[in-house]
Structure formats: C-alpha cells, structure tokens
Amino acid sequence: MQENAPEVVGFYDEPTGSVQYVVIDNATKRCAIIDPVLDFDPVAARTGTVHADAIAAFIRTRELQVEWILDTHPHADHFSAARYLQSLFDAPRAIGSQITAVQALWKEIYNFGADFPTDGRQWDRLFDDGDRFTIGSLAGQVMFSPGHTLASITYVVGDAAFIHDTLFMPDFGTARADFPGADARTLYHSIEAILALPDETRLFTGHDYCPNGRAPRWMATVAEQKQDNPHLQNMNEQRFVAMREERDADLPLPERMLAALQINTQGGALPPAESNGQRYLKIPLDQF
C-alpha cells in the first residue's frame, strides 16, 4: 500500500443502500468513521444499532483509536449514528459549516421553535472549504461539494476521497439535486472539482443501488468515473442540468427523508422523551 493510501473498509447498509466507512492509518492505528448509519424501520418506527455496533466491533477487533466521526452532509435516507458512536469512542463529530444554512431551511419546514439553534453547535467541529485535519499520520482536507445539499462536503485523505452523494458508481450515474436547497448547476461544478483530482484517486461513494442485481460496490477511480459514467460523457453544464432536472422530476422522496432530516439537522440527536417517556417524530403533511 502506498504511503499516502489509507486502508478503507466499507460497511454496506442494504435497506438504504448506504455505505459507511472506517478510514485507517495503519502506521499509527488511528482511524476515522465516515457517515455511520443508525438503523431505522420506518414501518414500526423502531431504531437500532446493529450496523453501528458492527463498526464498533471491527474497530475494537483491530485495536484502533477513533480520531474523528465525520458526516459528509445531513442525510435524507438514514439517521446518523455519529452520536451513538461518540458515546462508545469519545471522538469529536464534524460536518461542513454550511449545515447552518440547512438547519435554517428545515427549521421553517418543521416549524421548530425559536429555541432551535441553527449555528451548528450540535457538532464538535464545523469544517470550512480547504480546512485540514489528520488521521494519525495521514493528512486530510475538506472540499466544499454542494449541489445535492447545501452542506455537502468531500473528505480527501491521501489518495482517497469520500464523495458522498455527488457521483455514484459509474454504472449508476450521479446524485439527485431536487431536495430543498439542492441545485443541479451547483452539483455539476462540485463534480468537476472532484474529477480534477489526480486520475488515480480512489473515489468512495455514499451509496450503491446495485443496478441489474450486481453485488454492492463503492469505489471507482477518477479515471474510471471519467471513462465509464454515462452522466459524464460529452457533458457541459447546460446538458448536465437538463439531464439531471429531467431525471429528478420523476424520483420519489426517500421513504425515510422526513423522519431523517429532523434528526440529522440536529447532529443525529433523537427527539427528547415527552412526559410519558416516549419519543415522537414530527412529519409535515402535504409539504412535498
């Protein structure tokens, strides 16, 4: 393995097609967790920690020390398990600084009270574009990558980039840009910036939806994306925006979206228990 190449282990969440990552510096046995999933059954409204516990078991088996718990953006298809994993490993949680704009947007949609803070204080660190961090001896950098959401960022660690919902695997294309605050034109420029990374850079996606029934995959190089992703062939900004808007017009909302965003805009915190000891979700009716 190259000196600047972290070991990357992916954990696939089949119900949501989400990929969670442990990024490892084997020289120091330090690691970061990226985009962990808290289990949620939308029919029974039941939460669980099966997937997060699998990550925790792996980290303990490998005797790793967690330095960061990172989210690339406020997810619309799953609850973040960042707070739960922080309770196990006492590592700081971080997200992009534009989360404050997402909080302000969804505060209005959910009609959260005036006491709901929209300054990002629910996280330990808010990253700006260009910020640097370390995982053991590995250097990491933050790229602002909006378009899918206002707050989407990419984490570049050595020869690996964690690109969340911008590009999918080459046989599936690119991410939707129709959520509140999303924009296809902005997404196009974020993808251009990611593809400007060296061709050998490993791009790790936030999801895989296994087209044609193939097994889950979540890594392709910049060169492979350029060559094989049909959404990138002969594209300019105008054609990309037209393609993306046409496709997005027919996409249903993720089934967990209205539940997930009220959790993930609060750093993954579940609602407080009410007087009967029960937690409740708040769902806006007829909004979408």
pLDDT tens string 148-162:
999 999 999 999 999
Question: 94 near 126, Cβ under 8 Å?
Answer: yes
Tokens for 236, please give them.
């300019």
Question: 127 near 142, Cβ under 8 Å?
Answer: yes
| Each residue's pLDDT tens digit, 94-140 | 999 999 999 999 999 999 988 999 999 999 999 999 999 999 999 99
- In Å, how far are 145, 163, 217 from 48, measured between CA atoms? 30, 26, 24
Closest CA to 14 of 44, 58, 54: 54
- What's the burial of 278, exposed, middle or buried (CB within 10 Å: 0-12/13-18/19+)? exposed
CATH number of 7-264: 3.60.15.10
18-25 and 202-205 beta bridge pairing: unpaired
- Does residue 11 carry a pLDDT above 50? yes
User: Whole-structure pTM over 0.85, yes or no?
Assistant: yes
Domain ranges of the chain: 7-264
